[in-house]
Structure 1
C-alpha cells in the first residue's frame, strides 16, 4: 500500500466512509469494534453528508492507492473542538493511518486557533482510552450519556468518558 494522502472528504466519498465506519465499529474485524457492546448502524448517509456540508466541521479521509481507508471529523466551537467518526478500514489498521488522521486534524485546528480537542470514548473500551492517552488526551472524569437509543447498548447504563487534548503548544 502506498503512503496515505489525507484530504477533505467530498460527496463522492460518502459510500466508502459508511463502509469503513460500519466495518470498524460494528463489524467483527479490527480492534476498534464495538460488536457486542452496541447494536445498529453507527451512522448513516444523511449524517455524513451533513458533516461534509457543515462550515464548522472538517471531515477528513485518508486515501491510499485510490481508495479511502480512513476518516475522522472535528467540529469547532470557539477555541474548543470535538473529534469523532474516527475509523480506519480494519484491513489497514495498525499501520499509522489513524495517527496520521488525528495529527492532520490537530494541525488544522491549531491553525484555526483551537486550544482544546475533546473526544468521547465508550466506557469499557480501555484499549481505545489508552490509545488516546498515548496521543496526549487526558481523562477529565466527566461522562456523557449515549446519544442514541440506550436500547442499542448491551449495558444500557454505559456512558462515554470525556478526554481532552491541549492544543495550545
Structure 2
C-alpha cells in the first residue's frame, strides 16, 4: 500500500470514502455514526476548502490495486504552533479489522515528530457516545484532557440525532 498526501483531484474519491466510513455500512464500519448523526459527513466543497487551508494535510493510503488509485484510508492533520490536531480519520469499511487504522495513526504520529520538532502533542476530538473509539485511542496513548465541547452544528458535519458532545483527547510526543 502506498502512503501519500491528498491532492485536489482526489476529492471525489475521498468524499466517497469518508461518507461511506462515517455514514454508510451500518454494521460493517468501525467509524459509523448513522445512529448518532444524520446527513453527509463531508461535501466536495468542504473537502476542497480543507485541502487548501494552510497548515492542513490529509494523509491517504492507496489500495493494493495501484492502477485504480483507490483510496482506502485517510487521516487529517492540522498544524498549530506546538501541537497538531488529527481528524477525518477513517478506513474503507471493507478494509477494516486488518490493522490499517493502527498503522496509519502510527505513520501520522511519526510524520509529526519528524516534520516539526515544535509539535509536542497531538489532539483529537471523539464523540462522547463512542466509548469504543475512546478506549481504542486510550490504548494508543491518548488521554482525555477533560475538555468537552458542544457538537459543532455550524461545521455542517451532519445533524445530531441525540445530545452529542466532543471529548478532547491528547497524546504527548516524546
Partners of 1:62 and 1:97 within 8 A in 2: no
Distance 1:93 1:78 in 2: 33
May I ask how many residue pairs the two structures share in their alignment?
A: 164
Match of 1:30 in 2: 29
- Alpha-carbon shift at residue 55 of structure 1 (Å): 2.6
Distance 1:129 1:12 in 2: 33
- Alpha-carbon shift at residue 147 of structure 1 (Å): 0.9
Q: Which runs of 5+ in 2 are unaligned?
A: none
Given the two structures, how large is their TM-score scaled by the length of structure 1? 0.91
- Alpha-carbon shift at residue 137 of structure 1 (Å): 0.5
Q: Is 1:8 matched up with 2:5?
A: yes
Distance 1:89 1:21 in 2: 8
Question: How big is each residue's C-alpha offset from its partner over 1:116-162, in whole Å with a ceiling of 9 and x where there is no partner?
Answer: 1111000110111111111110111211111125981111x310111
Secondary structure, counterpart of 1:55 in structure 2 = coil
Of residues 20-29 and 44-53 in structure 1, the stretch that sits farther from structure 2 once superposed is: 44-53
Q: Which runs of 5+ in 1 are unaligned?
A: none
- State the Cα RMSD in Å: 1.6
- Alpha-carbon shift at residue 54 of structure 1 (Å): 2.2
